[in-house]
Amino acid sequence: MAIRILVGVKRAIDYAVKVQVKTDKTGVVTEGVKHSMNPFDEIAVEEAIRLKEKKVAQEIIAVSCGPTQCQETLRTALALGADRAIHVEINGKDYETLQPLAISKLIAAVAKKESVDLVLLGKQAIDDDCNQTGQMVAGLLSWPQALFASKVDIKDKKAEVMREIDGGSETIRVKLPAVITTDLRLNQPRFANLPSIQKAKKKPMAKMSPSDLGVDIKPHQEYLSYEEPPKRQGGGRVSSVDELISKLKEKGLV
C-alpha cells in the first residue's frame, strides 16, 4: 500500500545572503532580503518526490507555518512535485516569536489530521540552526524517529535509514508511521521546470490557523538580544622560532 507523506518546508533567509543584525539588536534584517526554501527542506521535498516516482508514496502534502509569503515557498514545493499544500497562517508578533516547540505541535496536529505515514523534515533550518522540530514532532506523536538521513529505503511499512553520525554512519530500521529528517548527502534537489511551475498554481492550497488545529503557539522562551559574533582578529607573522616563543610567553600561553 503506497504511503502518504507530509513534508515540512520553512521559508528562511536565502543561504547566499550575508545576514545583518539590526542596529537595535532585536533581530536580523529581513526587510527586502531574499528568502527561499530552507535547503534541507528542499532535500526533503526531493526525497518525497523520488518516493512517489518509485510508487512507494501515493500523495505528498507540503506544510509551512508563517505569514502569507510562505505560500510562495509552498508553490515551489508544489512545482517540484507535491500534490497539495497546507498553509498554517501565523502573522506579525506571533510569527516573530514562533519557536520550534510550537511548530512541532502544529506539524504533529496536521500529521494526525491527514493520517500520514511519514513526516519528512529538513534536519534543521539555516536561520536558527535549532535542529529540534523533527525530534519533538516524533516525541509528540510517539512515533519513531530516524534523523540526519543520508539514505532512505521504504518497504512493507518499514523505513531503513542510513544516518550521519559523529563516527561515520549507522543504519537503523523503523516502523512507519515515523519521522525522518534529511541531511545534506541524501540527494541533490532538482530544478523546477516551467510546465510544473504553471501547474502548481492550480494545485490545492488549504489555509488554516493554529486554533483550527487546537494548538497554543505561545512562546516559552524570550530572545533577549541578537549580536554579531566578535570580528576575527588578524593573525601576526613572526620571523623566527625565538620570536614565536617570546610572543607565546607574552600572551601567557606557555
Partner 1 sequence: MWSKCVRRFSTSPLTRVRHPKLRRSPHYATLTDRDISFFERLLPDGRAITNPDDCLPYNIDWIKTCQGQSQLVLKPKTVDEIQAILRYCHEHQLAVCPQGGNTGLAGGSVPVFDEIVLSLRSLNSIGAFDENSGVLIADAGCILQTLDVHVNQFGHTMPFDLGAKGSCLIGGNVATNAGGIRVVRYGSLRSAVLGLEIVLADGTLLDCLTSLRKDNTGVDLKQAFIGSEGILGLITRVALACPTAMSGVGLGLFSCSSFEKILSTMRLARKLCGETLSAIEFLDASTYNLSLKNLQQTNKPVEPNNFYILVETMSSTYEQAKATLDKLANTALEKEFITDGTLAQDLKQYKDLWAIRERVPEALVADGYVFKYDFSLPPARMYKLVEETQKRMKPFSNVRNVTGFGHLGDQNLHLNITVQNGYSDEIKHALEPWLYEWVAKERGSISAEHGLGLHKSKYLELNKGKQSLELMKQMKNIFDPKCILNPYKVLPYKID
Binding site for partner 1 (CB under 8 A): 14-17, 32, 34, 36-37, 39, 76, 188-195, 197-198
- Closest separation between CB of residue 192 and partner 1, Å? 6
- Closest separation between CB of residue 132 and partner 1, Å? 23
- Closest separation between CB of residue 195 and partner 1, Å? 7
**Looking at beta carbons only, is 14 or 127 nearer to partner 1?**
14
**Looking at beta carbons only, is 189 or 219 nearer to partner 1?**
189
Backbone angles phi, psi at 225, to 5 degrees: -160, 160
**Looking at beta carbons only, is 71 or 104 nearer to partner 1?**
71
**Looking at beta carbons only, is 71 or 135 nearer to partner 1?**
71
| Helix H or strand E encompassing 138 | helix 133-141
Q: How many Cβ atoms are within 10 Å of 56's Cβ, its own excluded?
A: 18
Tell me the three cell numbers of residue 95. 510569527
Tell me the three cell numbers of residue 139. 516525541
- Closest separation between CB of residue 180 and partner 1, Å? 22
User: Residue 167 has what DSSP assignment?
Assistant: T
- With 0-12 / 13-18 / 19 or more C-beta atoms within 10 angstroms meaning exposed / middle / buried, residue 193 is exposed
**Looking at beta carbons only, is 20 or 171 nearer to partner 1?**
20
- Closest separation between CB of residue 169 and partner 1, Å? 22
- Closest separation between CB of residue 94 and partner 1, Å? 24
- Closest separation between CB of residue 62 and partner 1, Å? 14
User: Residue 214 has what DSSP assignment?
Assistant: T
**Looking at beta carbons only, is 39 or 144 nearer to partner 1?**
39
Backbone angles phi, psi at 109, to 5 degrees: -65, -45
179: closest CA among 137, 150, 151, 130? 137
**Looking at beta carbons only, is 220 or 231 nearer to partner 1?**
231
Backbone angles phi, psi at 159, to 5 degrees: -115, 130
Distance, first Cα to last Cα, the chain: 67
- With 0-12 / 13-18 / 19 or more C-beta atoms within 10 angstroms meaning exposed / middle / buried, residue 251 is exposed
The SS3 of residue 200 is helix
